[in-house]
Every structure is written in C-alpha cells, then in structure tokens.
Amino acid sequence: MALTSSVITGKIQWSQIKNNAGFAPTKQGPDYIASSIAPPINTINEIFAENRVLAASASHTYDLTTMTNFFGEAITFTKARALHLAVQGGQIELSPGVSDPLTWFFGGTSPSITLPDGSFITVGGGSNATVSGSVKNLTITNTGATSATYQITIIGGV
C-alpha cells in the first residue's frame, strides 16, 4: 500500500511580553518559524512507524531494507526522506548502525543524537538519502538505567 499524501513540518511558535515601568507592555508575537516539505508520493511512497520500549542499556537496529508497514507489508526502502523520533520515557541515543551504517544527516559514522525524556526531533530533507545493502542501518540505544519508550517514523521510497 503506497502513501497517498505526506507533509513533513518543523515549527517553533512563540509570544513574548516585556513590562515597562510607566508605559504599556511591549509585546511581540505570536510569531513562528516553520519549514515544510511535501515529497512527491510517486517516489517517496512508504512510511514506517512504531512505538517501542527498550530495556535499560538495550539497543535496537533498524534495517531500512527490511521494514514492515502498518498493513503488514514488507518495505525495502531505497531512499529515506524524513525521520521523526519522540521520547516518552527514559533517554535514548540515535546513531548510524554499527554495520552498514546509514549516515544520512549525521555526516559520518560516529556522530549521534541523545534525546532525553519528553524530547523529539524531526529531520526532513529536500533530497533523499540513499539506502542500499551497505548503507541501511540506524540504531537506537537506551542510555539510561531504566526502560525507555519512544516513537519512530521514517518516510521514504521503495
């Protein structure tokens, strides 16, 4: 089953106020900065998403060439366009896999991103990351002493 639509959005919104002695408050906002992309569904046509709990110090490697979508169908990504990762408990680290690493937005095999409880990250690009037999793995590691719960979504093409 292929995607029928997708939009990847990142947005930060704010309002602020400064009280001024003897004068009216200075207000700014509401204001925001937002970026979004709407990848073409003829090439970016699959989504993988799951909730997962990792035991303390455990890790899970996502092989983007052997995924399963919500309909139970096999997905063999050949390109990745966006990733969303949200932590609901514990602390996790996202990194390229140890073997066959997908360096995508990391810029190398050793960088990683640590996300504490309650945090999230959304990465979307104007171009695709290539996924192949030797460039395919992302690893999530629980870096805490208790279990960690997270949601992951990957949008790409087959």
pLDDT per residue as tens digits for the range 23-52 = 999 999 999 999 998 999 999 999 999 999
Count of all residues that appear for the chain in the document: 158
Q: Is residue 2 very low, low, confident or very high in pLDDT (cuts 50, 70, 90)?
A: confident
DSSP-assigned letters across all residues of 28-77: EEEEEEEEEE---TTTS-EEEEEEEEE-TT-EEEEETTSEE-TTS-EE--
- Assess whether pLDDT exceeds 90 at residue 126: no
How confident is the prediction for the chain on average, in pLDDT? 94
Percent pLDDT > 70 in the chain is 99
Q: Where are the domains of the chain?
A: 39-157
Question: How many angstroms separate the CA atoms of 138 and 60, rounded?
Answer: 8
What is the value of pTM for the model shown? 0.89
CATH number for 39-157 (one of 1.25.40.10, 3.30.1540.20, 2.60.120.10, 3.30.2350.10): it is: 2.60.120.10
- Assess whether pLDDT exceeds 90 at residue 3: no
Q: Is residue 74 very low, low, confident or very high in pLDDT (cuts 50, 70, 90)?
A: very high
